[in-house]
Structure 1
Amino acid sequence: MISKPIINKVLKIAVRIIVGLALVLVIFLLSIYVGAWGKVASKKDLSEFNYQRASEVYTADSVLIGKYYLFDRQPITYNDLPQHLIDALVAIEDERFYGHHGIDYTSLLRVIFKTILLQDQSAGGGSTLTQQLAKNLYPRVPNGKVRLAVDKVKEMMVASRLEDLYSKEELITLYLNTVSFGDNTFGIKSASLKFFNKKAKDLKVEEAATLVGMLKATYGYNPRVFPENSLNRRNLVLQAMANNSYLTKAQKDSLSELPTKLDYREFDHNDGIAPYFREEVRKQLLQWVKEQNANGEEYNIYTSGLKIYTTLDYKMQVLAEEAMTEHMKALQQSFEKSYGSNAPWLKDTKLIQKKIQNSPVYRSLERMGLSKEQILDSLKKKHTMTLMDWEGEKTLQASSMDSIQHYMKFLNTGSLSIDPTTGAVKTWIGGVNFKYFKYDHISQSKRQVGSTFKPIVYTAAIEKGIAPCTYFSAQEVAYDNLEGWSPSNSGKEDETYLNYSMEQALSNSINTVAVKVLEETGIPNVIGQAKKMGITSNLPHLPSLALGTAEIKINELIGAYASYVNAGKSVTPFAITHIANTKDSILANFQPVIAKQPAFSKETGMLLLEMMKATVDKGTAARIRSKYNLPNAIAGKTGTTQNNKDAWFVGITPKLVSITWVGLDTYEIGFKSTSLGQGANAALPIFALWLQKLNKEKQFNSITQARFENPSRSVLDQLDCEPVKRDGFFKRLFKNPNKTKTKKFKNNSN
């Protein structure tokens, strides 16, 4: 039997230990309270905190198409939260949420005795939703068990202060706006859009339970990555809802049988609708933010929650991308087949070496000091990589050299459509695949425009007073003051004895006539006309200008073409209509930029429009009618550059102007044949297929069924002549079809 003195002594020691531990605990808590372990957020801090918000990009018809963010987060209000979402959250995460003041002492005691003392890891955690909110607002920094204890205490203190400041509804809202759902997604609005492509208020019970279920382990219960784990966790949430009387047993059983149906939508800059357009908007937004911040504002496109409203038409863009994919996939196959085993990306050693030495990976190794032999040896080593083609992405064993050769052969495209009266961008396709081809062929690329420049030449000619029914010989001429330069026509017919009216020459894109019209008009007059129509690029002061040797961006050329259906006034394409803040207050409006003065007379515009209608009805773009059976009011112009490097098509309708370019980024490679690479075959189909799709959608009837203004009697009279005249007998007698005529090119500027 233990003696009483010993018992008393043990009790005294125990009391001292308890008092000592209590004192240590009090000192520990006080040290945290006063900030010895880092500042604890005050009530003032908690009433004024801001969290980073993603900026959102919307189409003209209010469809969210992209975001710019560091963390994908976009807050919503309590009224936007469905009750079953709130019930699911409370049931599984904090069933006594409405009864505590930030700290659930019942759960806390359970954790102390079961988890800590009995080492029962299945006992669960003791953090309330308010404590979890505190952790969301002030994330922990992993640094050992002592630091974890400090963070836990801090979260309790912050939770208590949050409960003093906010109502339970406000706390629920703050929590759901800040919590992570994985995949770099924060907040229920972003999660709802990403996993189910719908607003939070439209979530079904089982969808809400799926998202709430992710909160325990955002990766392990991610329905995209681990669907089975997610389904089991969702059903556990449904069971918790039933246990807390938020669902009946019958409802729980019925919902538990449903499969998980995701409509996953990643707002990735590489994926989704209109990626090139979104990147262009981002660049313009960065410039706007820079200008605003220089004036004392503090905007950040990744964290300020800006709302960017654009001119893009969502449905039009979807259909345009479908048309592009449909055509380019087939064209790529034909292109590769035309070259066969002798393709330059396989056989042209000199070109392949040039591409390799200009590649980023080669230059990177070169900067590291490796020799050419070492670099080439490194680039030949095979490893696992993913390569893209029109069938999708393929993971295989390949070398960097294989990759370079693989992408050398890809045809690319740039396709833009605008409202010709304002310049508002309706569709924007900068390339075939943004993930693998970042270069934007609308805003960045300058290519020779080929015959699409000819209407400007003819416009200048008519403005100068040359009648549309003036005839020009199609005979090929060698200009001896231009080193014997001799432009020719692509047709097989012997045109030595033919004379074309301007309408016939333009609609059939006769090169020899275009040069002669330029000669008669004067190069300075043509360049001046181009500038009046909004062309700002430097234009070569050479006769070859008539054939489109000038390099012009698509978004510049399209503004000039808009003038033909905009009373002679060119426009500047624009993408953003206005920018708003998180409260929907307008921060900036952007107005159309339209030329103040017409670049040509109304009559000249009508004459050119009639000529370009003829291009579609019976000229180089006639397949629009014959193959694609498009009944719409359409004018247009095809274009093909030397060696079939660039294929172009301009489509003009009363309410839309569209330009499409097709070619290779590897400029040394062109199409194998003109029949494959001409604008009518390589570029025109993208426009034609798109218009076919628009015609099927009633919502576009006002655009697709619009008609051009009827030409005046004067315009019709000026075009009323034989399209082609053949030389008379005596002229033919003195012409030798086997000998090219020589003469000096006159540089007419009068």
Structure 2
Amino acid sequence: MAKAVKKKENQGFFKYIKWFWILFATGIFSFALLFLLASWGVFGGMPAYEHLENPKTNLASQIISSDDELLGKFYLDDNRTPISYEELPQNLVDALVATEDARYFKHAGIDARGTLRAFAYLGKKGGASTITQQLSRQLFIGAREKKKTQAILQKAKEWVLATRLEKQYTKEEIIAMYLNIYDFLNNADGIRSAARIYFGKEPIDLKTEESAVLVGMLKNSSYYNPLRREELVLNRRNTVLGQMAKYDYITEQEKDSLQALDMDINFNPENHREGLATYFRMNLQKFMNKWINDNPKPALEDDRDRYNLYLDGLKIYTTIDSRMQANAEEAVKEHMKKLQAEFFHQNTPDRNRTAPFLDLEQFEIDAIMERAMKNSHRWREMKKQGKSENEIRASFKKETEMTVFDWNSDTQEKDTVMTPLDSIRYYKTFLRTAMMSIEPQTGHVKAWVGGLNYKHFQYDNVIQGGRQAGSIFKPFVYAAAIDQLRLSPCDSYPDTQYCIEAEKHGNPEPWCPKNSDGTYSGNMFTLKHALANSVNTVTARLIDMVGPKSVVSIVKNMGIKSEVLEVPSIALGTPDVNVYDIVGAYGAFVNQGVYVKPVMVTRIEDKNGQVLYEYVPETKDVLSKDVAYAMINLMEGVTQGGSGTRLRHSYNKNNTVYKEIITGYPYNLTNPIAGKTGTTQNQSYGWFMGMVPNLVTGVWVGGEDRATHFSSLAYGQGASMALPIWGLYMKKNYANEEIGVSAEEFPKPEDLSIEVDCVKYKEEMQQDIDTEDDLDDLDF
């Protein structure tokens, strides 16, 4: 009986054992089947192996300067630039592994110990996702599912993909891919953008505590946003540092000292309206769009037949020198802020000014404002929406909260309330500017500043539209005269009234131009003195001698694309030109008579480094070496005894803003400089063209409308409005010897056939006169 009971008990025990193994085997089989089905794509498509080899991510195109600095990027949603594992600092890798996956280098994509812990404690002691699993989810799966069933199926897919990734890539490559693909918020897509945006540096330069901040954000960048939740992010950073100490990547003492540091976020937003060379980048965008349209991709490269500037990760190598660009932008800001302060002072309402317009009747002001209103973005957008004209006009008179440009703010912005119509008038009070530098021998554009602030003034004054040239046009007249008549800078002409016949001028009356002060000195002036001091009568005489047609021919050959009429009045600078064209034209004077078309891009590569485009210079011989050098000699007179001599002087630090602008900043430049100032009618626009042997720079300053101007020539001339920017810019360039701006003499052609030494020229002329007198005495 006892045996029967015992046998029955044993049968019951083995029954339980049997069912345990059946259930265990079923679990194992189900578990294996789950992953097998996931790998077959039953729970949703799985990426093909070729996609694992080349996972697609949107890559921003990079804009690279001539000194190998990143100027900016072109992107839509993803500001991503991938970097290799070798470009990551070790402290970043250590922080990542210590915080996210301590056994990363020991498992094959799935951490069994972590998985068992997660099951045992239901995730309360941390999850089980490895770095490889997190990468697979971001690359191919997407956001976590909230429903439990879907979440389990998603996890199965993650595991399968993680093991495949581990077979396809090295551990180092997976870490680089993971950090490159993560969205750190605030346009910081990937670790390179994150390092630059949050700390203003490349990833390799990150300090341990900075790396800890970025690794801490990997948990949830929206939640751990350093711009909004500083204390929360600081605590998270310290947690990461604690993990690094726990796994012996840093010592306890290092952890304590690092945790005591402030977070020190150095926010550098990367977007299309901020950063260095914004105007240049926007013009470059137009160049790239045209190039992309003209250059389809090779057949079968991918599913798009054209390159995408925002997704394909192109590398655009530009001619811009980031150091010179920064110097240019600083010089513009430094001078324009002071000049604007004086302009505001002269045009305040209590001085009975119709700011910003001088000498206009109310109906003229109304016409300007009406035109500006109809050309505004607001008007166009409301028109598209089908709003009536009355509704649109009413909206311009309704007070609105807005952020406007302000020189007196550290951010150059202020929040205010005003009507859109008042904001139009407010912006018209600001003087605008443009400057561009090129290397004349290559045409490489080294600096490009199209305005005061791209976010608020998006019109690029370097290349858009044209402004009256004023006296900077006169060198073309002198060049034509020297070229055709073989004149010397030492030849002299009288400063007396000179009239050009009506039939030559195309007007009913003869054209008799006066000098800027309305007088004639009656003195004899050399060409060098006449150009240096912008003597109108001498310039009029020269264009009458050679004819307007020859001047226009030279101008066109030197790259001026705007319309230039064949009339004598062009001698005084009536044509409109833009900074881009005029700087290129002046480059031919420095480059021994050879015009080189300005260039912005030297090379374009795809994301793999394959060269897609290389620049071929466009050149044209327009003047002989002798004529070009004679012109440089003429324009050196501008800075030796003309309107540009203030470049040679300093000023007393106790001077007022007025004296700083009028007498100049502390330039004290002693090197050879050729230049030309330009001032237009009514003191509306001021120009300065400055040249040294390897750099030609043009600067323009003026209002949006010609009606915006200074009331006196003291402020409203090129030497006060534009020249100071050039002087400040060059001082900054010379302060950095690595930039390599020349301070040498302009190269002189061998066997120069045009005499530029006026002392020697006078002696030779006297000898010729003496010889002629002797010949007159002979009896033939």
TM-score range, shorter chain: 0.7 to 0.9
Kindly indicate whether the alpha-carbon contact (under 8 Å) linking 2:671 and 2:743 is maintained by their aligned counterparts in 1. yes
Q: Displacement, 1:410?
A: 1.6
Partner of residue 332, structure 1:
340
Taking a change above 3 Å as real, the CA distance of residues 290 and 539 of structure 1, as seen in their structure-2 partners, is same
Kindly indicate whether the alpha-carbon contact (under 8 Å) linking 1:653 and 1:708 is maintained by their aligned counterparts in 2. no
Give, in whole Å, the separation in 2 of the partners of 1:702 and 1:376: 52
Q: Which of residues 241, 255, 259 is equivalent to 1:256?
A: 259
2:68 aligned partner, one-letter code: S
Partner of residue 4, structure 2:
none
- Is residue 2:354 matched to residue 1:343? yes
Kindly indicate whether the alpha-carbon contact (under 8 Å) linking 2:515 and 2:537 is maintained by their aligned counterparts in 1. no
Give, in whole Å, the separation in 2 of the partners of 1:316 and 1:55: 23
Q: Secondary structure of the equivalent of 2:347?
A: helix
Q: Which of residues 563, 567, 577 is equivalent to 1:552?
A: 577
TM-score (structure 2 length as normaliser): 0.83
Give, in whole Å, the separation in 2 of the partners of 1:634 and 1:301: 41
Q: Displacement, 1:436?
A: 1.4
Partner of residue 621, structure 1:
644
Partner of residue 65, structure 2:
59
Taking a change above 3 Å as real, the CA distance of residues 534 and 43 of structure 1, as seen in their structure-2 partners, is closer
Partner of residue 182, structure 1:
185
Give, in whole Å, the separation in 1 of the partners of 2:643 and 2:370: 38
Partner of residue 274, structure 2:
271
Counting aligned pairs with the same residue, the percent is 37
Q: Which of residues 352, 371, 391 is equivalent to 1:354?
A: 371
2:404 aligned partner, one-letter code: L
Q: Displacement, 1:689?
A: 1.3
Kindly indicate whether the alpha-carbon contact (under 8 Å) linking 2:592 and 2:629 is maintained by their aligned counterparts in 1. no
- Is residue 2:407 matched to residue 1:390? yes
Kindly indicate whether the alpha-carbon contact (under 8 Å) linking 2:477 and 2:543 is maintained by their aligned counterparts in 1. yes
Q: Displacement, 1:21?
A: 10
Q: Which of residues 172, 175, 197 is equivalent to 1:172?
A: 175
Give, in whole Å, the separation in 2 of the partners of 1:127 and 1:497: 91
After superposition, give the CA deviation of every residue in 1:432-466 in whole Å (9 maximum; x if it has no partner): 11111222122223222111111101111122216
Q: Displacement, 1:149?
A: 4.0
Q: Which of residues 642, 656, 665 is equivalent to 2:681?
A: 642
Give, in whole Å, the separation in 1 of the partners of 2:754 and 2:508: 42
Q: Secondary structure of the equivalent of 1:704?
A: coil
- Is residue 2:493 matched to residue 1:471? yes
Q: Which of residues 713, 729, 735 is equivalent to 1:674?
A: 713
Give, in whole Å, the separation in 1 of the partners of 2:534 and 2:130: 75
Kindly indicate whether the alpha-carbon contact (under 8 Å) linking 1:179 and 1:186 is maintained by their aligned counterparts in 2. yes
Q: Which of residues 287, 290, 311 is equivalent to 1:287?
A: 290
Task: Tell me the matched-pair count.
Answer: 706
Give, in whole Å, the separation in 1 of the partners of 2:754 and 2:82: 62
Q: Displacement, 1:650?
A: 0.6
Partner of residue 388, structure 2:
371
Q: Which moved more, 1:142-151 or 1:549-558?
A: 142-151
Taking a change above 3 Å as real, the CA distance of residues 30 and 91 of structure 1, as seen in their structure-2 partners, is same
2:394 aligned partner, one-letter code: D
After superposition, give the CA deviation of every residue in 1:633-661 in whole Å (9 maximum; x if it has no partner): 01111112222232111111112111111
Q: Displacement, 1:210?
A: 1.2
Give, in whole Å, the separation in 2 of the partners of 1:696 and 1:104: 57
Taking a change above 3 Å as real, the CA distance of residues 236 and 487 of structure 1, as seen in their structure-2 partners, is farther
TM-score (structure 1 length as normaliser): 0.87
Kindly indicate whether the alpha-carbon contact (under 8 Å) linking 2:317 and 2:603 is maintained by their aligned counterparts in 1. yes
Q: Displacement, 1:621?
A: 2.0
Taking a change above 3 Å as real, the CA distance of residues 690 and 485 of structure 1, as seen in their structure-2 partners, is farther
Q: Displacement, 1:718?
A: 6.5
Q: Which of residues 387, 396, 399 is equivalent to 2:419?
A: 399
Give, in whole Å, the separation in 1 of the partners of 2:53 and 2:141: 18
How do residues 109-258 of structure 1 correspond to structure 2 at under 5 angstroms? 109-112=116-119, 114-115=121-122, 123-140=125-142, 145=147, 146-258=149-261
Partner of residue 442, structure 1:
462
Kindly indicate whether the alpha-carbon contact (under 8 Å) linking 1:606 and 1:715 is maintained by their aligned counterparts in 2. no
Give, in whole Å, the separation in 1 of the partners of 2:676 and 2:42: 75
Q: Displacement, 1:286?
A: 2.7
Partner of residue 552, structure 2:
527
Kindly indicate whether the alpha-carbon contact (under 8 Å) linking 1:633 and 1:708 is maintained by their aligned counterparts in 2. no
Kindly indicate whether the alpha-carbon contact (under 8 Å) linking 2:498 and 2:541 is maintained by their aligned counterparts in 1. no
Partner of residue 109, structure 2:
102
Give, in whole Å, the separation in 1 of the partners of 2:494 and 2:543: 11
Partner of residue 734, structure 1:
none
Kindly indicate whether the alpha-carbon contact (under 8 Å) linking 2:323 and 2:739 is maintained by their aligned counterparts in 1. no
Kindly indicate whether the alpha-carbon contact (under 8 Å) linking 1:475 and 1:498 is maintained by their aligned counterparts in 2. no
Kindly indicate whether the alpha-carbon contact (under 8 Å) linking 2:547 and 2:568 is maintained by their aligned counterparts in 1. no
Q: Displacement, 1:423?
A: 0.9
Partner of residue 614, structure 2:
589
1:411 aligned partner, one-letter code: L
Q: Which of residues 446, 454, 458 is equivalent to 1:426?
A: 446
Q: Secondary structure of the equivalent of 1:247?
A: coil
Kindly indicate whether the alpha-carbon contact (under 8 Å) linking 2:733 and 2:741 is maintained by their aligned counterparts in 1. no
After superposition, give the CA deviation of every residue in 1:669-689 in whole Å (9 maximum; x if it has no partner): 333333222111111111011
Q: Displacement, 1:141?
A: 5.4
Give, in whole Å, the separation in 2 of the partners of 1:128 and 1:375: 57
Taking a change above 3 Å as real, the CA distance of residues 159 and 264 of structure 1, as seen in their structure-2 partners, is same
Q: Secondary structure of the equivalent of 1:716?
A: coil
Kindly indicate whether the alpha-carbon contact (under 8 Å) linking 1:474 and 1:510 is maintained by their aligned counterparts in 2. no
CA RMSD of aligned residues (A): 3.2
Q: What residue ranges of structure 1 are gaps of 5+ in the alignment?
A: 117-121, 723-750
Q: Displacement, 1:85?
A: 1.8
Partner of residue 744, structure 1:
none
Taking a change above 3 Å as real, the CA distance of residues 476 and 356 of structure 1, as seen in their structure-2 partners, is farther
Give, in whole Å, the separation in 1 of the partners of 2:741 and 2:404: 42
After superposition, give the CA deviation of every residue in 1:97-117 in whole Å (9 maximum; x if it has no partner): 23433233444444445447x
